[in-house]
Amino acid sequence: MLTALVGLSTPLVGQGGGITLGLAYTVGNGWQVEGLDFGIARAVHAGPIAALSLTGRVGSFIDEGAIIGGARGFVFGASLAARTPTATIAELGADTSASRIGFDLTLEGTGYVGSRSPLAVGSPWGALSVLPGLRFGDPHGASLGLLFGPTVFFGTVTDVRAFLGVRFEAPLARRERHP
């Protein structure tokens, strides 16, 4: 994980890197994990992988059956994700500043720890997710992604849940070269 962090963070300015912010939900019956994601992303263009991201996740366990006071405990996670190139479905706007709507696929591995976890997987646990997504925005600028797919929790027991994510990615400012 430390090697991935160093590889993703060294000079991001000039490497096609940026920040990523988002919301993450594991939906289903009973207890769910709801969290905020924040991290860094880097364009890699390596075969079927267009971008890698390293994110941190902070959230809580929510009892969806409770009317009042459904929160219990905290959850922390670190994720490493690989995203395919975005296949364009449609372009909107002028030729010089078009926004695109596209489809991509994200594979994500996450390690979690939690306090007062009500889930049967225990703490710590891991998760692997396959997340097809729709991406809106400028392919070379800011974009918004909506991801939905299965996530498999590995811990004391194995559990499969649906994952819903909303991710915003924005490039970091680039340094201009001076003569």
| Per-residue pLDDT at 46 | 86
Instruction: Give the residue from 15, 9, 126, 30 showing the smallest Cα distance to 78.
Output: 126
147 vs 173: which has the higher pLDDT: 147
The model's pLDDT over 77-98, given as tens digits with 9 standing for 90+, comes to 999 999 999 999 988 877 777 7
77 vs 62: which has the higher pLDDT: 77
Average pLDDT of the chain, as a whole number: 85
The model's pLDDT over 82-141, given as tens digits with 9 standing for 90+, comes to 999 999 998 887 777 778 999 999 999 999 999 888 888 888 999 999 999 999 998 778
pLDDT at position 2 over 70:
no
Number of H helices, E strands in the chain: 1, 9
| Per-residue pLDDT at 30 | 81
pLDDT at position 15 over 60:
no
Over residues 160-178, the mean pLDDT reads 81
**pLDDT band, residue 175 (cuts 50/70/90):** low
78-89 as b/e: b if 16+ CB within 10 A: bbbbbbbebeee
pLDDT at position 178 over 50:
no
| Per-residue pLDDT at 35 | 95
| Per-residue pLDDT at 128 | 97
149 vs 70: which has the higher pLDDT: 149
Q: What are phi and psi of 85, to 5 degrees?
A: -60, 150
